[in-house]
Structure 1
Amino acid sequence: MCLHDHDAAVVHPAPGVVRRNVLAGAAALAGLSTASVLGAPAAEAASGDAPPAPRYHGRPARPGALLIVGGTMLDPLTGHVTPDAVVVLDEGVVAAAGTRDETRAAVARVAGRAQTIEVHGRWVLPGLVDVHVHVNALADARAVLRAGATTVRSGSSSFYQDVALRPLVDWAPGSVPRMRAAGVFVSPQLGDTVLADPALAPLAALAGGVRSTSDLAYLTRVNLSRGVDVVKTRANPRAGLPEQDPTELVYDREQIAAVVSAARGRGVLCHAYSEAGIDGAVRAGVRSIEHGVFVGDSTIDLMARRGTFFTPTTAAIVGLSESPNPVLAARGREYVPVLQAAIREAHARGVTVVAGTDSFGTDVDPIGVEVRLLIEAGLPRLDAVRAATTHAASLLGLTGQVGRLSRGHRADVVVVDTDPLQDDRALERVSLVVAQGVVARNEL
């Protein structure tokens, strides 16, 4: 759980430094090369305009047609269940989803060229969304995808690997999840992350680290110049280091507000544990609170009024209690019941709770584990499923694209063995993952 310190700066490029050179380095660090994506499923060539890939002679891939037939389909938005459903995927989007009668015309249009996967006796859902992960290599992204998360929001990376991984959904469908990239962490100490971009060099020798509002704004602008979708900052230190106090205030309301202002409308996610830190971050205008263990009643009410999302990363906090380090284990045992109470209160008062695992590297907590822990904390099962589908899509600005199996949505699907409205562990038992219209995992 954030057992890393990806502090990133946001500044304008230094003279002679161009964006593609920085991102080429990020791609190398992420493990991206021609050889590394050869294992991705083949797809047909597309005829549309290519996404940014300067002077490359080819075009992005266009996935073919796929039929997922016979399962029970759950719509997280409405809770409606469709037995013996058919999902028609074509060219990377949902062409139709529903009963056999409702999908008959769409099935006829792909006849003769569609792959058919029979899933009788299983449950079909939209691809899941993990709103807090750390992927610094291709192997990390693939592990998250195989666990069922077809869309993710980065919780920061060390060298812009998340930005470099993001275009693979177009060029190698089925190889990585859809990515909302955060770039580098807006945090006091940059460490080796200063090597991610020559534009970060001015921040390397600051006494006390990146703390002034002008330097925080500069660091944020550097991230923006590298193409991030969101910005990650903090109010408190990490809980995963025994020598740090997670309730100490690192950035106050004014400092976080400088990040929010410089982000220019991109959502800011804020790592926060203490009531003072959480309250300052919410008042500063962050889009979501990450962890949020000691959030108070008045701040929960403020979050509800402002529409601030809550990402409790329950799996990561539970993981602390299982640590071999006695300080961390004691911290986890203290934090878990407090966080569970906060989740219940937040949900009861109208705060939207979303699912994020805070997974790092290839040691992935499946997003289904986070859903189950949200249920154990007190969320109704359907709301816990929404935390990893429709509610998560809303946080990421992807409503109408992910989180449902509806015509025009992205062709992301998971199939599980049991009913998620009856079995708390259902989303942990993923047997099929389809990402961007391509089968990424099939254990039927």
Structure 2
Amino acid sequence: MKVAKFGGSSVADSIQLKKVGEIIKKDPKRKFIVVSAPGKRNKDDFKITDILIRLGNAFLNNDAFEEHFSTVIQRFREIIEGLELDTSILSEIEQSIYTVLNANYSNEMKMDAIKAIGEDSTAKILSAYLNSLGLQASYVNPKNAGMLVSNEPGNAQILPESFSKIYALREEDGILIIPGFFGYTEDGQLMTFSRGGSDISGSIIAAGIKAELYENFTDVDSVYSVNPNIVDHPKEIKTLTYREMRELSYAGFSVFHDEALIPAFKEQIPVCIKNTNNPECPGTLIVSEKAPDEKCVVGIASDTGFCSLYVSKYLMNREVGFGRKLLNILEDEGISFEHAPSGIDDISIIIREKRLTSEKENIIIERIRNELHADTVSLQRDLAMVMIVGEGLVRTIGLAKKATVAIADANVNIEMINQGSSEVSMMFGIQSKDLNRAIQSLYSAYFE
């Protein structure tokens, strides 16, 4: 049995959904289908989830929400009419929105329920469409599928007892269409995963039914070794390990939500990234281990929007508890950190800029000076992180030299290096303005 997940671009309109129908028909092993909400039809278009969020915010703020409601309904009307389905589905979608808006939920729970309408509606539409093609298909609500999650609105986590419940789906007849992005608490409250969580849903279902393969259909033929917006026609990656994909996802590769592979990883289920618009292309296969003769470096990922909090104090290394006290200050202010390379007398804490407002910055710096008596405290913004990713990277001689030479050849200064914390990645911090030059030079060094 296979699990196939179709992302927002794959279900954006009736034309795309017809392609999805053909893909499902061609392989009877595709018994479990997980879908996202309709995404963008072109670069200037909108995602249904974004409009639902605006609708929810407007309603909760007592503002006019009717325009957003009309936009959502019109989009689904076009899809339903394009698939020549009964318009009763549209009435059901309208009713589901009003039911949520008028429900006696907290604001957080109401927003989660509103956001989930996109995926839920897509699943109902696809189920009806497959039946119109003569296939036996049924919509399965995540509650009935066994998707039990923690009570954390907008950031739900799957509960361990879910997997045995999901396994029972193997006994169901026909094709099962399951909306992604949300589950239910033990007391029946709808909760969504973090944004992009339909990938998480697909991985959970694949792990629960112990699938032979989890196919993730998107709008690219494969994962590329570098961002194609920075390097023209980069090489495709044929095979990745789970750890490599997770590192790439974290560091800016947008194909997968960076938490998505964890359930599949634990069950060692292979994952294949495929293109809805070119389903015959083999895509990129993600496995637990790759052949020893494969190339070490598989990709170069990057992301902007970081800052570095630098703290220096003479004999810091002899002061017991200094690091704990420093991190406690961040915790008190609700700030999580990404990396923390350190020396004898200094430490740099890498933080996502969006988490550190100017107000928080001033509070944290003042507390470090007063409570830790640091000699120097400073913050450097507008940093980019570049990550070289590959299994066996730390055991391969000369890879770090190749990276530093390539960055120097691009006339880019390295602000930070962090390698020892990971066996599959080597990270460099540089100024955001230098990112494209550094990436192009690194790609040339490793892949050309």
TM-score by structure 1 length? 0.27
Higher relative contact order (CA 8 A, sep 6+): 1
Query: By percentage of residues, which structure has more helix?
Result: 2
